[in-house]
Structure 1
């Protein structure tokens, strides 16, 4: 009788272990599905960030072009101003000397 009881206890323990394993396997499956969803979301985010970086590169290139143009224009304005000042100075000197 004891061997039947021991056998029943053993079977019960095995069934309980199988139930726990089944529960754990179900939880693992849920966790893997959640991780898969998270990875897909991260992939989408990375793609969006890549697109944003490319747009920023294009905007930066445009900004650099504008800054270069403004620098050249500023240099031309400074050169023009010095030219006008030099011309005005020479004109005043010539007018003063010829009087």
Structure 2
């Protein structure tokens, strides 16, 4: 009887160990499934980050181009204003000479 009891005890121990191994494998499978889900979420997040980075890059390029255009416009306005400021007195000083030349009168002979 002891031999059969020992054999039964051994079988019970083996079955218990196999159940424990099976449970551990089930937990590993669950954990692996969660890991796959998390990796999928990370891939989605990286894709979103890439899209956002492209949008930001586009916005920055647009801002930079607009900034360059504003600088050009400002420079043009400054040059135009300076031209008016500088040329106005020059034209006022030269106007009598031009009028005299056009009308054929020598300046200073009035």
**Fold agreement, TM-score > 0.5:** yes
Structure 1 residues 47-86: aligned runs within 5 Å? 47-86=47-86
Cross-structure match for 1:11:
11
Structure with the greater alpha carbon radius of gyration: 2
Kindly indicate whether structure 1 or structure 2 has the higher relative contact order, using CA contacts under 8 Å at least 6 residues apart. Answer: 2
Structure 1 residues 35-50: aligned runs within 5 Å? 35-50=35-50
What SS does the aligned partner of 1:40 have? helix
More deviation in 14-23 or 57-66? Answer: 57-66
Cα separation, 1, equivalents of 2:77 and 2:12: 95
Cα separation, 1, equivalents of 2:29 and 2:89: 88
What SS does the aligned partner of 1:37 have? helix
Structure with greater proportional helix content? 1
Shift of 1:64: 1.1
Q: CA RMSD in A?
A: 2.1
Q: TM-score, normalised by structure 1?
A: 0.80
Number of residues of Structure 1 aligned to a counterpart in Structure 2 = 95
Cα separation, 2, equivalents of 1:2 and 1:86: 122
Shift of 1:8: 1.8
User: Runs in 1 of length 4+ with deviation above 4 angstroms?
Assistant: none
Please list every run of 5 or more consecutive structure 2 residues that lacks an aligned counterpart in the other structure.
95-110
Shift of 1:30: 0.9
